[in-house]
Structure 1
Amino acid sequence: MNQHIAFWTKAQMRKQVAVIQGELAPSLVLTNATYLNTALKKWVKANIWILQDRIVYVGEKMPEHTTGTEITDLEGKFVVPGYIEPHCHPFQLYNPQSLSRYALQRGTSVFLADNFMLLFEMSISKALSFMEDVNDLPSNFFWWCRYDAQTELLEEENYFSEKSVRQLLESPYVLQGGELTSWPRVLHGDDTLLHWMLKTKKAGKKIEGHLPGASEKTLTAMTLLGVDCDHEAMTGTEVMDRLNAGLQVSLRYSSIRPDLPKLLRQMKEEGITNYERIFMTTDGSTPAFYEEGVTDKMLEIALEAGLDPVDAYMMVSYNVARYYGLDHLFGMVAAGRVAHLNILDDVTNPLPESVLAKGKWMKRDGKDVSDDRDFQFDWEGHGIKKRDIKWDLQDEDFQFSGLVGIEMYNSVITRPYNVSINPFSEEINGESDECFLMLIDKEGKWRINTVVKGFAKNLYGFASSYSNTGDLLIIGKSKKDMAVAFERLKEVGGGIVLAERGEIVAEIKLPLAGGMSNLSIEELVVEEKRLTNALRERGYQYEDPIYSLLFFSSTHLPYIRITQRGIYDVKKKGLLFPSIMR
């Protein structure tokens, strides 16, 4: 494809027709393939002709001309469409490039991706260029249009405005608004958000909800206000409630919500037998969670739960493509579609033996045969580079006061508590599970200091440029080691650093905008596990420390958050105390 959006020029289309008319040889023919015919919902035997990146014929015939054509016999093999991830956060320490390469080896070739990080790193025009150019990779990426920051920003209008929303919605790469973490604001009268939602609908695009625990009444109201799909069901009953409200449902299997096995079991108990309005998503899991698989792992779980393989494979391909209006391009093994194909040795084994992406072999007979050149991406050309921190921490930055601290209830839920330690000491007693906590502007303009309880017991110095907004989180029992961790983070240009008694114990370098590694996911998994183990040895007890860092500032979750504006009470929708200008 010369044009990323996956349509072809007149000259290319004439060549494709010429193959059918016997005037031109295809580039690849897969013979004797048993493929999933999604139109008939059955397995059919056929030959599949491909010209460059497009399927041009599926049927019994062979092409008249085969000079220069690669012919591969798939007798005994099964072909399914490339898997589609419908709800992806592609900046969770990894990046779209590394995620694409890793996921393709496991059969996932199309992503519906969150644009959130891009809004904090570049102008809208540059973000739009990034969202288009990432489609030079063998995968296809389509994007969301965020309406809000899911936190309290000092200058929210710089990131979310009528103009920015309009520009994003005009892009053919943007297929939906949301996810709508600010749904309570819409429900309670925020007409600016509702106006943007109406613009989304007028543009012919979907709206993704974020409706955990929503009642039947709330689900119905949000459907009336334009929400089309939700991924927050945590029980089979909640799946049924969403289907009854007219919503599409994404079943989640993620590092903080691995609900899929339970959901499938309870859906059977609820009597759900039609899966046409159901997807599956890993919801932006952290790298180590993907070690067992991506979409292929969810398929494995679905098949083990007894789903018909046809239903299972359609849930991660055709169902998603049809919902987003992409079924003319993806989700089917049929003429006219992009040649994203997975070749299986058996329908019960969703990890592909071979993978084609845009008509090129990415994996063959179990081996990675992808070309490094296909995965090159110009990060600096898109304005994504190391964090250049030109300021220093001062003694006054380590002044911690106030009676209200933040207590962790689990990986992502935090609540207020009364601070019992002396915040003026240089080091907190080793028996306590309390740590100093600082959120400081990446440009060094402001800070907010408090105490966090329950993050770790023996963590002396910790610094992270990976956070909700890209600002710096600095945590620890020792102010001296907190400073050591910050200095190392500054030295490497962004990352996550654990320091203890003046030494660096563990780190993940994140040279891409302070939030993404340039390592492969396989390499990143090793680093993440090393860091997580080091944190667990020091008292971190929850599922996912990376998500804890991400959600410290996220006001779509209860009950108290540390934000750019200050310590924020989510329930009362107000500041407990403000951030301080440096």
Structure 2
Amino acid sequence: MLEQRYRWKNKQLREHVSIIDGKIAPTIVLVNAVYLNQVFEEWMKANIWIYKDRIIYVGDKMPDMQEGCEIIDCSGQYLVPGYIEPHAHPAQLYNPETLAMHAAQYGTTTLINDNMTLFTLLEKRQAFALLKELRHLPYSMFWWARLDSQTELRNEEEVFSHANVKSWLEHDGVLQAGELTGWPRLLDGDDMMLHWMQEAKRMRKKIEGHFPGSSEKTLAKLMLLGADCDHEAMTGEEVIRRLGQGYHVSLRHSSIRPDLPGILDYLQDYGLKSYDKCFFNTDGSSPGFYKEGFTDSLIKMAIDKGVPLIDAYNMASLNIARYYNMEYLHGNIATGRVANINFLHEKDEPTPHSVLSKGQWVKREGEACGVKGSSINWEEYGLSPLELDWDLTDDDLQYSMPFGINMENSVITKPYSIHIDISREVLDMNHDECYFTFLRRDGQSRINTLLKGFARNLHGFASSFTNSGDIILIGKSRQDMKIAFNRMKEIGGGIVIAEKGEILFEMPLVLQGVMSKANLPELIEQESRMKEILVEKGYPFEDPMYSLLFFTSTHLPYIRVTQAGLYEVMNKSILFPTIMR
């Protein structure tokens, strides 16, 4: 823990000072560098000395000691600070390492990550050991501390115990509590959640909201209870509403909520004079969303929409660092900061041709360099392939529930009355109703119903990728659903599509059944192929990954499958309990 608490040890700090004194040479000196100086709000020319992972000096001078130093002429280039993603969900098929590796290629060198997957799937000692290991990568990672499960867990009080939550809040790598998907519980009088928020405030940590569609009065109440920021504004009007109640606003552009262009248009028409309390986020988008970029694409969008150039860069760097009280380390190019620097061809083209992250080249002249593959032994930290010590039986695929789940879009589901014959082994392919089974990961219970709107001729589909980490089966054919499940179990977790006894597609998710080891470009191809097949089978929406993720998530209306049973979100009630196996 002390290693995290002190970013550099005393001996290292003395070395840094010795470089100024000419006793030690920097590792890199960037000469003739035109860089964005956010204090003076202008582009300035300087020489930038770097020693290992830290910026040692920014100014006109050259170091007295230059032996072994890499000197780079930056004439004709423009330097900006590494971008920060303040709202990363690092387990959306990808894993924290592969997401960071990919993001860095587009200049996003710092990620502030959701801890949900690590919190719910790993023992605390394993999770904290992994956080320590991830700090050795050439990327900067910080974390959240969740206060609620975003679903209905059988053992929620055990998982979200006071001791567990407080340990995460106290961890030096954690910058904030939240996101508060359980805010209705907070308003209904959950004093344990409020106590944890009080603890976060006492520790000078931020609290991230999750307040879609909230009224001005609701936003005011949640601000009074401790919320600092919200990323759920879907319109420019909602941004202004949040700014008016004292919030910082994280402007989202994601695979299921690509709202940024409309928001920026509104803010420009509104005449917003200051963007200091705004920043960007991509909210854990599906892999394919990141095919052509990361935060850089959001900065470009803002520039093209007329946001002042320096404000656009600040919304991806300085504003975020300042908000999280780490401006002394991140978000700007200045003496003492971590050496995260993006090299641009033009001031208004934020995709970098070269990237320094912690003083290491991760991209140079358009080519990835440095770390190429995974350096982490995931199994050492409890992220091994999924092992199910139970089998799927014919009894598990019996259906009698009078109503099912109707998909309104990728993530919103409503109940509907079932009128077709559900006793058949194979359903007709001329309608969009499929068998739908939820199975607890430990095999103790299940839910059987129908899912309408997901596909028309999907024979068998199995996924261990869900928000709760449980298993879902979808399909027209009970036999193909069983084949898909057995293959998913055989490969250690993942997503499998079967048809007429054959495997059409599989995506191994060998890190506890929820994350892949594949790098992002490979994973993007796999996800694209999955979506292509599902569309062929009648999937009508935009983002199947989020459909799978949110079937078990109780922060969205109206009906969900959970470990407790079929859950009605608005009334917070169990419509049908799970059936014990």
TM normalised by structure 2 equals 0.98
2:255 paired residue number: 255
1:360 paired residue number: 360
**Any conservation in 1 of the 2:145–2:178 contact (CA below 8 Å)?**
yes
Q: Does 1:148 align with 2:148?
A: yes
Give runs of aligned pairs for residues 98-247 of structure 1, distance below 5 A: 98-247=98-247
Query: Equivalent residue of 1:180, what SS?
Result: coil
Query: Equivalent residue of 1:26, what SS?
Result: coil
Q: Does 1:60 align with 2:26?
A: no
**Any conservation in 1 of the 2:468–2:553 contact (CA below 8 Å)?**
no
**Any conservation in 2 of the 1:240–1:270 contact (CA below 8 Å)?**
no
1:553-576 deviation digits (Å, cap 9, x = unpaired): 111100111111110111121111
Amino acid at match of 1:569: E
Dislocated runs of 4+, deviation >2 Å: 2-6
Q: What percentage of residue pairs aligned between the two structures are identical? A: 51
Aligned equivalents of 2:178, 2:11: Cα separation in 1? 37
**Any conservation in 2 of the 1:237–1:270 contact (CA below 8 Å)?**
no
Give runs of aligned pairs for residues 224-303 of structure 1, distance below 5 A: 224-303=224-303
Distance apart, 1:12 and its partner CA: 0.7
Q: Does 1:520 align with 2:509?
A: no
1:226-262 deviation digits (Å, cap 9, x = unpaired): 0000001011111000001000001111000011111
Moved more, 182-191 or 311-320: 182-191
2:436 paired residue number: 437
CA RMSD of aligned residues (A): 1.1
Query: Equivalent residue of 1:267, what SS?
Result: helix
1:510 paired residue number: 509
**Any conservation in 1 of the 2:268–2:306 contact (CA below 8 Å)?**
no
Aligned equivalents of 1:60, 1:473: Cα separation in 2? 61
Amino acid at match of 1:353: H
Amino acid at match of 2:137: L
Aligned equivalents of 1:422, 1:203: Cα separation in 2? 58
2:343 paired residue number: 343
Structure 1: 5+ residue stretches without partners = none
- Rate the CA distance shift 1:4–1:344 in 2: closer, same or farther, 3 A: farther
**Any conservation in 2 of the 1:6–1:329 contact (CA below 8 Å)?**
no
Aligned equivalents of 1:133, 1:226: Cα separation in 2? 32
2:46 paired residue number: 46
Amino acid at match of 2:11: A
**Any conservation in 2 of the 1:107–1:351 contact (CA below 8 Å)?**
yes
Distance apart, 1:6 and its partner CA: 6.5
**Any conservation in 2 of the 1:4–1:136 contact (CA below 8 Å)?**
no
**Any conservation in 2 of the 1:553–1:562 contact (CA below 8 Å)?**
yes
1:184-221 deviation digits (Å, cap 9, x = unpaired): 11112111111111111111110000000011111111
Aligned length: 580
Aligned equivalents of 1:421, 1:6: Cα separation in 2? 64
**Any conservation in 2 of the 1:207–1:226 contact (CA below 8 Å)?**
yes
Structure 2: 5+ residue stretches without partners = none
Amino acid at match of 2:105: Q
- Rate the CA distance shift 1:434–1:137 in 2: closer, same or farther, 3 A: same
Aligned equivalents of 2:6, 2:360: Cα separation in 1? 15
Distance apart, 1:4 and its partner CA: 4.7
**Any conservation in 1 of the 2:4–2:173 contact (CA below 8 Å)?**
no
Aligned equivalents of 1:474, 1:84: Cα separation in 2? 37
1:34-86 deviation digits (Å, cap 9, x = unpaired): 11111111111000000111000000111111111100000111111110000
Aligned equivalents of 1:337, 1:95: Cα separation in 2? 27
Amino acid at match of 2:102: Y
TM normalised by structure 1 equals 0.98
1:407 paired residue number: 406
Distance apart, 1:371 and its partner CA: 3.1
1:414-472 deviation digits (Å, cap 9, x = unpaired): 00100112222111111110011111011211111111100111111000000011111
Aligned equivalents of 1:124, 1:39: Cα separation in 2? 41
1:303-331 deviation digits (Å, cap 9, x = unpaired): 11122221111110111011001111100
Give runs of aligned pairs for residues 328-477 of structure 1, distance below 5 A: 328-372=328-372, 375-477=374-476
**Any conservation in 1 of the 2:355–2:364 contact (CA below 8 Å)?**
yes
2:551 paired residue number: 552
- Rate the CA distance shift 1:343–1:192 in 2: closer, same or farther, 3 A: same
Distance apart, 1:394 and its partner CA: 1.1
Distance apart, 1:120 and its partner CA: 2.2
- Rate the CA distance shift 1:178–1:405 in 2: closer, same or farther, 3 A: same
